[in-house]
Structure 1
Amino acid sequence: MRILIALAAALTVAGATTAAQAAAPAALAAPNISVANVQSHLSQFQSIASANGGNRAHGRPGYLASVNWVKSKLDAAGFTTRVQQFTSGGATGYNLIADYPGGDTGNVVMLGGHLDSVTAGPGINDNGSGSASLLEIALQMRATGFQPTKHVRFGWWGAEELGLVGSTYYVNSLATSDRSRIKAYLNFDMTGSPNAGYFVYSASGQPSGSLALQQRLQAGFTSLNVQTELTSVGGRSDHAAFARAGIPVGGTFTGAEGTKTSAQAQKWGGTAGQAFDRCYHRSCDTTSNINATALDRNADVIAYALWATAA
């Protein structure tokens, strides 16, 4: 997640039961995502970073190796993939776009997260966690034979850490007609913070249609008996480019450099007075910097929301 001012005005979730009831019929079809599989993908990201100077940052070999590895998994699963190139800071950057076969291409549901790390470390929570979860969910779409009525597209963004460069480039590159076909964008950036919180992007101030996504994500956590708080993520992550284009947005987040309060520790466990992620943008953001329970819950909620939104 890019460093910007944190807009973490958290609100207690209200009305999630109603949303859960509304989303439940479609969401019941969503698979239970294996956290072991997600962790296996994270181990691959760690290995890539270790073999390429310790990071997976824009313009560094570890980033392109990450793109190529994720692409290979998606190609083998029958997705239609393409790598979009852009330039930032004098270096070539890459977005990976993957389309699931079928569905109404005039009604696109898109999910994404950034694949790059900072130069200081391998970026396993930020944002290997979201990237690996999206990969496993994409693979499970194929494995379960999911046939959504809407068209599903995934994006793994480059150079987020330099200012949301890749996602902004992607949105700006779309023809007006293509942008209008994207009816929802869900963003997942840091879903396994070690001292985890359970935050859902607030729809307040976001494009019309965002409230339904907020409520669906809340409903997913409610189905797991996990309390959530709303957070205003502002321009901190890749949903911002989509929101500027008028596309409804939503997402989940387990916290970065912000400090967990006593009330949050009572609600979620963990340590009050400590950052949600003490290794945020540091070399210690490795595979040991992951809360497996938070990673598992968020992956299941992502699947829940996707199946409910795209069915």
Structure 2
Amino acid sequence: MKRRTVIAAATGTALAATLLTVAGAQANEQAPAPAAAPDISVENVQQHLKELDAVAQANGGNRAHGEPGYKASIDYVKGKLDEAGFETSVQEFDKGGATGYNLIAEWPGGSADDVLMAGAHLDSVSDGAGINDNASGSAGLLEVALAVAAGDLQPSKHLRFAWWGAEELGLVGSNHYVSSLDDAELGKIGGYLNFDMIGSPNPGYFVYNEDPELEKVFTDWFAQKQIETEPATETDGRSDHASFQDAGVKVGGLFTGAGETMTEEQAGKWNGTAGEAFDKCYHSACDGTDNINADALDANSDAIAHAIWELSS
């Protein structure tokens, strides 16, 4: 009887091991590695810039808060997202006696308790069309959102995109949105990514360094493309990520520089022009479609897609 017991135990052990192996293989088959992000067409992003420039030219030359060009910009982006299958909503707020608008776009699915959010401000200053600042971030984010829909991405986290109003007047739109959330809803946002000026004509490659995990997703991607990066220290408190950071949400993002001057060292590693501003048309009337570096716009748009795919899986 002892011999039979030993044989039975050994047989049972072998069977259990086999079942575990089969179960593991089935689990691997059911949970494949996340697909890589698609290459984002810079031509498509540039077309959005042309459309937003046309909106500005048809509405007094700008897309500023309280002006018809801003509402027309909201309508353009919303139309693209609605057509792609997003659930969109427009949040209104008041600033200076004028109605402002935030556009929020939800991609159906993913855990409602674990939200990855990405945003860009859509308004310009009153002096111009604001194509680099910040049609560039808005257009890059829009094209990534459309790629999410085209690829029918099924992330484990819930994806939420946003286009903010009245950033140029002091982060008004994003502050309004964050303050509209109760603690429970705010706590569901695991990370917020911000994209403000991603096509500067004399570009730097700056990555927000407020959160190491979110920073690494971007720096690793740029390193694989052999593009050196620097921490985006000059963005501290200057764009919409600050609204989220102040509320305790982890933040990250990208930036190619504003009115600050590029140094000799930076020019050497980015093949830029030392002694000139990253964006010579910052907050000026000349911030039009010619005020864009297509290579920077392309690289940053692809980096946005990589982060969305990587962080939402």
**84, 89, 96: which one aligns with 1:89:** 96
Structure 1 segment 73-222 matched on structure 2, within 5 A = 73-203=80-210, 210-222=211-223
Query: How many residues end up aligned between the 2 structures?
Result: 281
1:196 aligned counterpart, secondary structure: coil
What's 1:298 paired with?
A: 300
Query: CA offset at residue 231 of structure 1?
Result: 2.0
- Within 2, Cα distance between the matches of 1:76 and 1:28? 24
- Within 2, Cα distance between the matches of 1:231 and 1:85? 30
CA offset digits 1:131-173 (Å, max 9, x no partner): 0001000000011121111000001000000000000000000
What's 2:22 paired with?
A: none
- Within 2, Cα distance between the matches of 1:26 and 1:238? 32
Instruction: Report which of the two structures shows the higher radius of gyration computed on alpha carbons.
Output: 2
What's 1:224 paired with?
A: 225
What's 2:13 paired with?
A: none
What's 1:287 paired with?
A: 289
Percent identity over the alignment is 59
CA offset digits 1:47-74 (Å, max 9, x no partner): 0000000000000000000001100100
1:259 aligned counterpart, secondary structure: coil
- Within 2, Cα distance between the matches of 1:219 and 1:299? 15
Query: CA offset at residue 223 of structure 1?
Result: 2.2
- Within 2, Cα distance between the matches of 1:299 and 1:117? 20
2:88 aligned counterpart, secondary structure: strand
Shift >4 Å, 4+ stretches? 25-28
Q: Is the 8 A contact 1:129 1:191 kept in 2?
A: yes
Structure 1 segment 17-32 matched on structure 2, within 5 A = 29-32=36-39
CA offset digits 1:73-129 (Å, max 9, x no partner): 000000000000000011000000000010001000000010000000000000000
- Over aligned residue pairs, what C-alpha RMSD do you find? 1.1
Alignment-mate amino acid for residue 114 of structure 1: H
Q: Which runs of 5+ in 2 are unaligned?
A: 1-31
What's 2:277 paired with?
A: 275
What's 2:261 paired with?
A: 259
Query: CA offset at residue 254 of structure 1?
Result: 0.1
- Within 2, Cα distance between the matches of 1:227 and 1:280? 23
- Alignment CA distance shift 1:28-1:195 (3 Å): farther
What's 2:70 paired with?
A: 63
Query: CA offset at residue 26 of structure 1?
Result: 6.6
Instruction: Report which of the two has the higher share of helix.
Output: 2
Alignment-mate amino acid for residue 231 of structure 1: A
The normalised TM-score by structure 1 is 0.89
The normalised TM-score by structure 2 is 0.88
Query: CA offset at residue 225 of structure 1?
Result: 1.3
Structure 1 segment 33-44 matched on structure 2, within 5 A = 33-44=40-51
- Within 2, Cα distance between the matches of 1:128 and 1:26? 34
Q: Is the 8 A contact 1:46 1:124 kept in 2?
A: yes
Query: CA offset at residue 182 of structure 1?
Result: 0.4
Alignment-mate amino acid for residue 43 of structure 1: K
- Within 2, Cα distance between the matches of 1:131 and 1:193? 14
- Alignment CA distance shift 1:147-1:27 (3 Å): closer
- Within 2, Cα distance between the matches of 1:132 and 1:231? 21
- Within 2, Cα distance between the matches of 1:244 and 1:292? 33
1:288 aligned counterpart, secondary structure: coil
